[in-house]
Structure 1
Amino acid sequence: MTELSIITGAGVFDAITAGPPEGRPVLLLHGFPQTGLVWRRQIAALAARGHRVVAPDQRGYSPGARPQRPEDYRMDLLVGDVLAITEELGWAAFDLVGHDWGGAVAWWTADAHPERVRTLTVVSTPHPGALANALRTDDDQRERSQYMIDWRETPATEQRMLAHDARELRAVFAGKVPQDSADAYVRHLSRPGALTAALNWYRAGRPDGPIGAVDVPTLYVWSTQDSAFGAAAAQETGRWVKGPYRFETLHGVSHWVPEEAPDTLSRVLLEHLGEHGEFSTAARTPRSTTPDRGDS
């Protein structure tokens, strides 16, 4: 893996890359409160199979692309970053993978620009339409999502999270993320302005306009111990996909799937990409998965 700087009109994005330059391109989008490092095990697996992989630190996480206002983190701008990054890389079409907030950006990108997205893989984050329905009708999901309101509306969230050697920020990972990775995320977000920028994703407000059902081949991976997203939205997500759809349930795994169950995630991701080298009309039935014993 090597480091890469991607220069766009919105700023300079730091990224990790691997794989042959001529390989099939895959873009990996991280969520809060992490960086492109979250994908290191998937990057290695994809590159070993000949894919060209890029995992950028997204808007606010890259120091060279860190506007200060919350409104500079609107969803349309985050989607615009995906387009700008891939255009700079020379990718007319690409496979798109996202986790947590990166998953939300991936859903919106696939909806708005299906001609660019060869396949979609989203980890943890349900389709925004399914999540919106669950927030209206499901008490469990409303309780799970309360933290978003707290972080958005509390001005001192940054100071509280970073106090006492970032005790509260470290607690977000709940011991499910490798210690070296957790330390790296804390160091990254402890730099001036970094955590405020990351929290501005929550403070930017809801996306403008509705989102429709995506029609690209889609893999959705949800885990039963996810504290942020419950079963109601996860199970409804398939209604929001018009193209071939595969739903994987990981039993006994928390929200931090890429690092807690890396081998299982890499396996199903590679299967998904292999099944859809070209757009296919063969839909998949939902499956439940127990993480491979090699996951750690």
Structure 2
Amino acid sequence: MQETLKIKIGSLTFDCRTHGDTENELVIFLHGWPETSYMWKRLMSSLSEKEFYCVAPNLRGYSKEACPLAIEEYSLDKLAKDVLGVFKFFNKPNFHLVGHDWGALIGWKLAHDHQDKILSWTGISVPHPQAFGKAMVMDEEQIKLSRYVKNFQTPNLPEEQIRKDDFKIVRKLWENCTADEIEDYLKVFSNPKQLTATLNYYRSNYKLLKTAAKNRILGDIHVPTLFIWGNKDIAIGSYSVGEHHQYMKNEYEFLELNSGHWLIQTNYQELKKSIMNHVTRNKNSA
């Protein structure tokens, strides 16, 4: 049965969707922009049937009671610490991790820094930050695809553009989502404070990602990893994906789909099969 828990971490309280038996192995799901934990509901239901306990937090800014104002409060370090706090709440020895978009960037950070706690890691759409950050500076295709990230650095104007014509810009991104899903997303994006918070992910980490062209911002990944990418992605070009493979130093599977960025909506059955196989293969008891 799915239920929502409120998990307090320091001064912040996170809304977390859960599904399954708390006695089972933990799987944490991390959403991206512009979505919420709602995107994982279907997959959580399927995985819980395979004896996993599934938890998907609304991340910092997306949870109304975990929405600090300052841009620096949305650094990759702090976003990763939030997830670690959610994990510690359940008092488990380790967990499986799945992340899409910004959830993937946070997941790479966790997979690198806390390999002893992670049984398996699945990144969707966004590759290793070292490769992605390098591409943002050095690859012409990625520079064009990431133009929106540069535009998001401007204060206030992006918020106005997103709200324009009843959220026309993001509604286009949600074209494969259900009406209930969109309704859930709009609860966040129609709140001015939360909308700005979601854009602060880009504002807080833009310079860090771009330094990857010259400096090491994240090292090799030593946990079993599945990476899924659509070769028609509107935000992620092929250069960063090609560069990314070199950082995988454990069991590694790469699934390339003839699809775009919103894979949980457009390629659900393929994702379900691959993720289920990956986490099952890496269970504690396997």
TM-score range normalised by the length of the shorter chain: over 0.9
Corresponding residue of 1:125? 126
Letter of the 1:222 counterpart: W
**Closer/same/farther in 2, CA of residues 154 and 8 from structure 1, 3 Å limit:** closer
- In structure 2, which of residues 253, 262, 273 is the aligned counterpart of residue 267 of structure 1? 273
Letter of the 1:44 counterpart: S
Corresponding residue of 1:163? 164
- In structure 2, which of residues 230, 239, 247 is the aligned counterpart of residue 223 of structure 1? 230
Residue deviations 1:59-99 (CA, integer Å, cap 9, x gap)? 00001110001000011101110111111121221001100
How far is 1:163 from its partner?
1.8
Establish whether residue 141 from structure 1 lines up as the match of residue 147 from structure 2: no
Q: How many matched pairs? A: 278
Establish whether residue 243 from structure 1 lines up as the match of residue 277 from structure 2: no
Corresponding residue of 1:254? 260
How far is 1:10 from its partner?
4.2
Corresponding residue of 1:184? 184
RMSD of the alignment, in Å?
Answer: 1.7
1:6-17 aligned at under 5 Å gives the runs 6-17=7-18
Give, in whole Å, the separation in 2 of the partners of 1:279 and 1:238.
28
Give, in whole Å, the separation in 1 of the partners of 2:59 and 2:112.
19
1:58-73 aligned at under 5 Å gives the runs 58-73=59-74
Give, in whole Å, the separation in 1 of the partners of 2:233 and 2:92.
33
Corresponding residue of 1:4? 5
Q: Where does structure 1 differ by over 6 angstroms across 4 or more consecutive aligned residues?
A: none
Structure 1 stretch displaced more, 270-279 or 198-207: 270-279
Give, in whole Å, the separation in 2 of the partners of 1:179 and 1:230.
30
Residue deviations 1:6-41 (CA, integer Å, cap 9, x gap)? 111141100110011111100000001111001111
Give, in whole Å, the separation in 2 of the partners of 1:263 and 1:74.
33
Corresponding residue of 1:283? none
Corresponding residue of 2:203? 203
Give, in whole Å, the separation in 1 of the partners of 2:52 and 2:238.
32
Conserved? CA contact 1:28–1:98, under 8 Å: yes
How far is 1:137 from its partner?
2.7
Corresponding residue of 2:80? 79
**Closer/same/farther in 2, CA of residues 42 and 267 from structure 1, 3 Å limit:** same
Conserved? CA contact 1:92–1:116, under 8 Å: yes
How far is 1:207 from its partner?
4.0
Letter of the 2:185 counterpart: Y
Establish whether residue 34 from structure 1 lines up as the match of residue 35 from structure 2: yes
Conserved? CA contact 2:129–2:217, under 8 Å: no
How far is 1:176 from its partner?
2.7
Corresponding residue of 1:234? 241
Conserved? CA contact 1:32–1:100, under 8 Å: yes
How far is 1:117 from its partner?
1.1
Letter of the 1:225 counterpart: K
Letter of the 2:182 counterpart: A
Structure 2, gaps ≥5 residues long: 210-215
Q: Secondary structure at the match of 1:78?
A: helix
Residue deviations 1:260-288 (CA, integer Å, cap 9, x gap)? 212211110011112222499xxxxxxxx
Corresponding residue of 2:94? 93
Give, in whole Å, the separation in 2 of the partners of 1:13 and 1:92.
21
Structure 1, gaps ≥5 residues long: 281-296
Corresponding residue of 1:293? none
Give, in whole Å, the separation in 1 of the partners of 2:43 and 2:153.
31
Could you tell me the percent identity over the aligned residues?
31
Q: TM-score, normalised by structure 1?
A: 0.89
Residue deviations 1:212-271 (CA, integer Å, cap 9, x gap)? 0110000000012210001111122211111110000111x2211112212211110011
Give, in whole Å, the separation in 2 of the partners of 1:261 and 1:177.
12
Corresponding residue of 1:18? 19
Structure 1 stretch displaced more, 63-72 or 260-269: 260-269
